[in-house]
Structure 1
Amino acid sequence: MVSPLPRVLLLSGRELEEVLSPGVLIDEVEKAFITFSEGRTVTPPRTVMWVEGNWWGVMQSYVPGYGVGVKVVNVIPANLERGLPTIQAVVNLFDPVTGSPLAVMDGGVLTALRTGAASAISAKYMAPKERGPLAIIGTGYQARYQLRFVAHVYRTDEVRIYDIRESAAESFKGYAESLGFRVVRCRSAAEAIEGARVVIEATTTRTPVVEGKYLSRPTHVISIGAHMRDARALDDDAIALAETVVVDSREAVMLETGDIRIPVERGVLAMDRVSELGEVASGKRMGRLTDEGITIFKSVGLAIQDAAAAAVAYREALRRGVGRYVDL
């Protein structure tokens, strides 16, 4: 007789918020990036399909010390009009030795949390020493996590925001003010960017919204949007001005966004100038060269982040007695 599967822990988005604070998650995701750049993870290319004109992906990774994570995720921009998240996902965590399922959790919240952690790691190593305003272009679901996590490592009082949707900008303004930030709503991306010391792009754009001519020195640009092969959030001028360009994965950014691929193909950017975040975190490559430079971090998101974040969530949930078990 076949033995039944072990009980599986279910974690809701609210419970993930409870157990995965910036102080807990940033350091753990940083370790996962280092492990990835050292070639010690098992991370196959994601499987992608298009359903009803929308992107769906299956991402999987084994990260030593954390476990095996598998995520099914979709990106549906029209959900903005439906009052639903544009990114929805479910993450499964497995024991790498026994193969047993350990946990199932809200992948949308987990994705936002681990993406915020990656941006914070980039700011830790690449943001200027000089303090100043933080600009956020795109104030949807991801932006709240970007603000919380990046502000954990780059302290600022002023947040400038721009979104083409009035309601989204106003809602985010209230959220940021509730955290104690002074918020300035801007009339354009250019107005938000000029004079900012950290710029976060978190949009669903297909054309550049961060233009080099508006960037002030010093600044650090974080781009988490434009997740299609021909889509761009950063123009050629922004790329050309950067003293360092750092990505989560060289291979992934060349396949999954135009922000790096197109400048490389045009000769604007040489790949030997592109570093991985894990290389920067381990000290093998520099994230910032000068006090006055412009730096760029481009992220498309990796399965290693999901696996590590899911494992940390599972560990913290067990420690705190959070979540509920189900028998499969």
Structure 2
Amino acid sequence: MRTQQISTHDAAGTQDLLPWPALMEEIARAARDIEAGRLCAPARQAVPFPGGAVMLSMPATAADVGIHKLVNVAPGNRARGLPTISGMVSVYDGETGQLRLLLDGPAVTTRRTAAVSMLAVSRLLPGGPRHAVVFGTGTQAAGHVRALLDLHPGVRVDVIGHAPGRAERFVSAFDPDRVRPAGRVDPAADLIVTATTSATPVYDQPARAGRLVVGVGAYRDDLAEIGVRTLADSHLFVDDPEGARHEAGDYLQAGVDWASVRSLAGLLADRPPEGAAVFKSVGCAAWDLAAARCALRFDHVLERNSS
């Protein structure tokens, strides 16, 4: 029997296998598969390390592919000059269970999270954002800024940091004509992205038609980036309803009516509502499986081009 070659990709190589349009297409496919029961993605398991670190295990399977994302989150690594998050995504053939790919875990997480947000943006701001504001200066903020620049050539992005000088240092990695530091939300902004780990809301303006709010940072019930004033009069969406009931701190602290919260699959299937909207993303292994499908597709292209 012929042994199948295993491809291993570092962070840069993993990003190359996940172009935005194709990745968004695969996430939409995965969302439909979840709704139809064709994809299994159980809740992630967290196993503690000493010193406040944690190992996160996230498997998912479908008929064509299976994945296991194993990442470690070690906050103490900042003081050591090491990345806070490390790990990998292993990709398996759905029929044989054989290992096909090894992908960089943080790169997959950053890329697929931004792609989920951009998929929601494409539905809830169908004309595309013209002026975005991003709260945060970490990895997820950078991933969202890059996605906005790549997918929306005319967009301007303001970045708001929580400490003096953070936003200025952050924007130096991008085109200064398109990405700028800011101290407040410009009234003309039509897209707000919160990508922080704040325990108190960083954005709590009244809901406004024509302005979409996307929250990606608050992933525990004790965190909240988006305030009650914004949520109270907005149409509410989440990427993963099951996970959100335990992890979407913004929604949990606001006491939202979960019967009124719609899923990503529902957003893709139905006509988008009129009026203000909030899309909350907590992440799930289904989106990592979508990234794996995308990576397999483009890994084959690279193989053909190199042969």
Q: TM-score, normalised by structure 2?
A: 0.89
- 1: distance between equivalents of 2:217 and 2:77? 16
Residue equivalent to 2:251: 260
- Aligned runs of 1:1-328 on 2, under 5 Å? 6-51=4-49, 52-65=51-64, 67-127=65-125, 129=127, 131-154=129-152, 156-166=154-164, 168-177=166-175, 181-187=177-183, 191-192=184-185, 194-213=187-206, 216-242=208-234, 244-264=235-255, 269-283=256-270, 286-287=271-272, 289-290=273-274, 293-321=275-303
Offset at 1:228? 1.2
Where does the alignment leave 5 or more consecutive residues of structure 2 unmatched?
none
Q: Which amino acid aligns with 1:281?
A: L
- 1: distance between equivalents of 2:78 and 2:134? 18
- 2: distance between equivalents of 1:79 and 1:197? 36
Could you report, residue by residue, the CA deviation over 1:1-57 in whole angstroms, capped at 9, with x for unpaired residues? xx9975421111111122211122111111111211233211111111232223431
SS in 1 for 2:106: helix
- 2: distance between equivalents of 1:79 and 1:211? 32
Q: How many residues align?
A: 304
- 1: distance between equivalents of 2:114 and 2:209? 24
> Per chain length, whose mean CA-contact separation is higher, i.e. which structure has more relative contact order (CA < 8 Å, sep 6+)?
1
Q: TM-score, normalised by structure 1?
A: 0.84
Q: Which amino acid aligns with 1:278?
A: A
Tell me which stretches of 4 or more aligned residues in structure 1 moved more than 6 Å: none
- 2: distance between equivalents of 1:172 and 1:107? 22
Q: Give yes or no for contact 2:67–2:90 (8 Å, CA) kept in 1.
A: yes
Q: Give yes or no for contact 2:193–2:214 (8 Å, CA) kept in 1.
A: yes
- 2: distance between equivalents of 1:298 and 1:155? 24
- 2: distance between equivalents of 1:54 and 1:104? 23
SS in 1 for 2:259: helix
- 2: distance between equivalents of 1:4 and 1:152? 40
Offset at 1:236? 1.2
Could you report, residue by residue, the CA deviation over 1:78-126 in whole angstroms, capped at 9, with x for unpaired residues? 5445444333221001112111111111010011111111001000111
Q: Which amino acid aligns with 2:180?
A: V
- 2: distance between equivalents of 1:160 and 1:206? 22
- 2: distance between equivalents of 1:55 and 1:237? 33
The percent identity for this pair of structures is 26
Offset at 1:143? 1.6
- 2: distance between equivalents of 1:296 and 1:246? 6
Q: Give yes or no for contact 2:63–2:95 (8 Å, CA) kept in 1.
A: no
Q: Give yes or no for contact 1:32–1:63 (8 Å, CA) kept in 2.
A: no
- 1: distance between equivalents of 2:263 and 2:136? 25
Could you report, residue by residue, the CA deviation over 1:275-326 in whole angstroms, capped at 9, with x for unpaired residues? 110121123xx43x22xx221111111101111202321321222139x9xx
- 1: distance between equivalents of 2:71 and 2:215? 20
User: What do you get for the CA RMSD once the two structures are aligned?
Assistant: 2.5
- 1: distance between equivalents of 2:278 and 2:242? 17
The 1:109/1:167 distance shift into structure 2, 3 A limit, reads: farther
Offset at 1:150? 3.7
Where does the alignment leave 5 or more consecutive residues of structure 1 unmatched?
none
SS in 1 for 2:47: strand
Q: Which amino acid aligns with 1:245?
A: L
